[in-house]
Structure 1
Amino acid sequence: MVFELRGVRGGAVGPPTEGFEVAYRDPCGSELRRPLTDVWAVRFEDAAPVREFHSYKGQRHLPGLWWSSTAGRHVGYESWLERDHVMLLDFDPLVVGVSSQPFWLFWTGSNGKGVSHAPDYFARRDDGSAIVIDCRPADRRKPRDLMKFEATQSACDLLGWEFRLVGAPDPIRLVNVRWLAGYRHPRHPRHRQEAPAAALREVFHEPWPLIDGACLVGDPIAVLPVLFHLLWRNELSVELSVPLHARSLVHPGVR
């Protein structure tokens, strides 16, 4: 779910439209700080996180690392909500790069004091466009947080980036994608499995029930992991707004 931020502060003074600075770490770990207008071409999808992901006894949120098939490396998350959204970014066929905690954004608030915020994710699409994502449940958005999100959206607007403030994803789609994510590793179509992958693309050239098509190719125990990998890669597609099951119709994909 994506939320619109405009007008969240009623008649209060809006976010700044200039004066932003960005601090980030390049892939080699060097720390840089530059005006926002100077970083439009930086590959933030390759940037190292500007904050560490701490784990300690008794903490309420659950940080960890998601192995991204898109990036070919681990991407950090600080909560299960962030994990769910980095998984959905990993599944998105238009996303070609993603990083967590990509930069610090600095600006001066209306009270003259400095303000900073580190968005949760930066994603790059295959057309070169960019998305900045913040994850926060709708019932945990305090006024100070909303002001930061609104300022971040203003900064993104200046560079032509999309900004998303996201909450809990659709639960059925989430469960389906989480299942397919178990087959995201590229090992599934390799070596002796390359033939089943080609056969599955041929069988599902037209819509066909999932289990019937798998059985046409061979032993389902061997074929289904390859099929789920092709669904993860969007080489084949299935309706994800309803629970995935054996009779789900599989279609040609977008790749």
Structure 2
Amino acid sequence: MTTLPAVRDVAFGWSLDEFVVGYVTEDGTRRRVSLAEAWAVRFEAVAPARRFTARKGQRHLSGLWWSSTVAGHVGYESWLERDHVMWLDFDPAVVGIAAQPFWLWWTAPGGKGVAHVPDLFARRADGSAVVVDCRPVERRPARDRAKFEATRWACELLGWEYRLVGAPELIATANLRWLAGYRHPRHHLPEIAAALRVALAEPAALMVGAEAVGDPVGVLPVLFHLLWRHDLVADLSVPLHQGTTVTSVVTP
């Protein structure tokens, strides 16, 4: 990818040359480029633009999420960020995820320089990208809202999607946390997986499908892994239970 897609060069007063982007390569080299040049950077493969810090009394829990998408760790600075990393990891269209991907600099009205580091960057299989900021609705003061809005327009100028997100849907996220416990490839046992696809070629209750294949103690981890991989599907908007209807989307 070397040519910037055809997008508006002005968005409510913002233009490409009003933004500068800084990032850190995988080998630790710091680089600064124009917004137009940033379009071709593989931000899904960069190092975090700033360090994850921990301090006594901080309100948020930082950590590392092992991503099945990238087969490596993605950092997060709060449980809210962790949940959104998890949802990106679950999205079959996403092929790359990075945390704290870049600095974005611009000059605000009045001449004051402003900087912002978005929380997440994700690359989709079709080459498109999404930039995510995670902040609860009740914790968005005017100064931060202005930063988010400027970031939104910078992304629009590049043809990227921008999301400012709060808490995700409660039940679906609780279900996904459960399935995420089985996201590692070690839970993919080919013979059991193939048998589950046959048993669930037609919709059936979760436990019925598991018992049709063998001892649920050994079968359920594989079933949950296949749900994570989207080889099996179920309605995640309601709590998962033994009677949840599950079906295969992969031909046995």
TM class by shorter-chain length?
A: over 0.9
Cα displacement (A) at 1:113: 1.4
Offset of 1:17 from its aligned partner? 2.7
2:116 is the counterpart of 1:117: yes
Normalised to the residue count of structure 2, the TM-score between the two structures is 0.92
1:16 aligns with 2:14: yes
Distance 1:27 1:202 in 2: 43
1:10 matched residue in structure 2: none
2:210 equivalent to 1:214: yes
The 2-side partners of 1:130 and 1:204 are apart by 34
**1:254–1:142: structure 2 CA closer, same or farther, 3 Å change rule?**
farther
Q: Distance in 2 between matches of 1:153 and 1:15?
A: 13
Q: Deviations over 1:22-50 (max 9, x none)?
A: 00011111110000101111110111101
> After the TM superposition, which parts of structure 1 deviate over 6 Å for at least 4 consecutive aligned residues?
none
Distance (Å, rounded) in 2 between the aligned partners of 1:116 and 1:97? 24
CA contact (8 A) 1:120 1:135 kept: yes
Using the alignment, how far apart are the partners of 2:219 and 2:123 within structure 1?
32
Matched, 1:195 2:195: no
Aligned length: 240
- Write the distance in 2 (CA, Å) between the matches of 1:160 and 1:76: 25
Give distance in 2, aligned partners of 1:163 and 1:15. Answer: 18
Shift of 1:82: 0.4
Show structure 1 runs of 5+ residues with no match. 1-13
Q: Which residue of 2 aligns with 1:174?
A: 173
Structure-to-structure mapping, 1:1-255, within 5 angstroms = 16-18=14-16, 19-189=18-188, 193-253=189-249
Read off the aligned partner of 1:251 and give its amino acid letter: T
**Equivalent pair of 1:15/1:147 in contact (CA under 8 Å):** no
Cα deviation digits, residues 117-155 of structure 1 (max 9, x gap): 000000011111100000000000000111101000100
Q: Secondary structure at the match of 1:184?
A: coil
Tell me how far apart the structure 2 counterparts of residues 159 and 187 of structure 1 sit (CA, whole Å).
38
Q: TM-score, normalised by structure 1?
A: 0.91
TM-superposed deviation, 1:253: 3.5
**Partner-residue secondary structure (3-state), 2:240:** coil
User: Judging changes above 3 Å, is the alpha-carbon distance between structure 1 residues 215 and 134 closer, same or farther for their aligned structure 2 residues?
Assistant: same
8 Å CA contact 1:51–1:101 kept in 2: the answer is: yes
1:15 and 1:151 in contact (8 A); partners too: no
Select between 54-63 and 233-242 the one with higher mean Cα deviation.
Answer: 54-63
Aligned mates of 1:90, 1:128 — CA distance in 2: 16
Deviation of residue 55 (structure 1)?
A: 1.5
Calculate percent identity across the aligned residue pairs. 62
Q: C-alpha distance in 2, partners of 1:243/1:180?
A: 12
How far apart, in 2, do the equivalents of 1:15 and 1:29 lie?
34
CA RMSD of aligned residues (A): 1.5
Does the Cα contact within 8 Å between 2:129 and 2:161 map onto a contact in 1? yes
Separation in 2 of the partners of 1:239 and 1:125? 24
- The SS at the match of 1:110 is coil
